[in-house]
Amino acid sequence: MATATEADAMRRALALAARGLGSTSPNPVVGCVLLDARGRAVGEGWHQRAGGPHAEVSALCSAAEAGHDVRGGTAVVTLEPCNHTGRTGPCAQALIAAGVGRVVYAVADPTPAATGGAATLAAAGIDTEGGLLADEATAGNIAWLTSVLSGRPYVLWKYAATLDGRSAAADGSSRWITSAESRADVHRLRAEADAVIVGAGTLRADDPHLAARGWEDVSQPLRVVVDTHATVRPGARVLDDAAPTLIAVGEDADTTHLPGVDIVRLPHEGTGLAVDALLAELHRRGVRSVLLEGGPALAGAFVAAGAVDRVVGYLAPALLGAGPAALGDAGIATVTAALRLGITDVTRLGPDLRITAAPTAHAPEES
């Protein structure tokens, strides 16, 4: 059974893993803390970017550079050490070669190619235990786990609204409904996401830039515009070189005015594009987490498709009484059919409230 020292080390490993959010896709975020035979922390690391050293190897290098001996010690890892050779070698073998005597991990690796690390460690005579702080580790890696088990990116829908649920005024103005504190927090969400999605209506109304600002050394998310009829103009801010951009259009859209722009053609669904086809294309491109920023029609399409995994609402203490609602038609006709959410966090940001919730019946399913 895991000790209190190992639990503390796992909490540190979880914090380390979170540093990789937005930079590791299509790989998971992973943190590792190494304890020597006396239980002292002697090395730590995290997976910083796809193709770079995994957390275990980073931690082993950290310990070696400091002159610490990890033989007979314990590796505390947020994810079961991998058991395959990809762009880097198998972490299970690296831990065996280092001579650790025990490995404690939080969550088993569900990918067919990488799983089996725990069995490999145990076969080498290493005491191996899984499940320590599994719920916390699952929450920290939920985007990657969802992508593995469901075959599509994890979708977080973010919106800003007044207390009466309006995302803009009757004249279409929306800057700024929420506070500077809330807007800064949105840039954090962008920095942690692999892709940010908006619709053509939002692009026309706000000409958003969609890059993450105020964060150092951030891997900018892919900016995605869902623009069925290819109405985006060449001078749109989203087409600058601050971050990569993908324009999703209908199969019959004329895109001759967008030379050199990354275009994907998708089938129509209702009045827009097929959400599942968009998510499949993003998954194929290595996108594992999506921040859906708007507007109401696009959000409604995602809800109707069952493709919203988490909701973050920024509520301003203001009333408009008219104007577009935060959520458009989601195919929900009666109260009994409402998508029920469980609130997981309520935080005050300046004068606003940030409410985080998830569908109560949601869980990643194998595709």
Catalytically active residues are 56
Q: What gap in Å lies between CA 93 and CA 149, rounded to an integer? A: 26
Q: How would you label 18-32 residue by residue, b for 16+ Cβ within 10 Å and e otherwise?
A: eebbbbbbebbbbbb
Backbone angles phi, psi at 52, to 5 degrees: -90, 175
Name 315's bridge partners: 161, 353
- Measured over the CA atoms of residue 317, residue 323, residue 326 and residue 327, the dihedral's sign is positive
3-state secondary structure of 157: strand
Burial of residue 289 (CB within 10 Å: 0-12, 13-18, 19+) is: buried
Q: Among 176, 237, 186, 175, which Cα is nearest to 213's?
A: 186
3-state SS, one letter per residue, for 8-42: HHHHHHHHHHHCCCCCCCCCCCCEEEEECCCCCEE
Q: Which amino acid is at 14?
A: L
Which token pair is 31? Answer: 């943190």
Question: Which letter does DSSP use for residue 344 in this model?
Answer: E
Backbone angles phi, psi at 168, to 5 degrees: -160, 165
Q: Among 42, 68, 216, which Cα is nearest to 32's?
A: 42
As a residue count, the chain comes to: 367
- Measured over the CA atoms of residue 12, residue 290, residue 88 and residue 104, the dihedral's sign is positive
Which token pair is 83? Answer: 């058991």
Which token pair is 195? Answer: 């892709």
**Quick one: which H or E segment has residue 190?**
helix 180-192
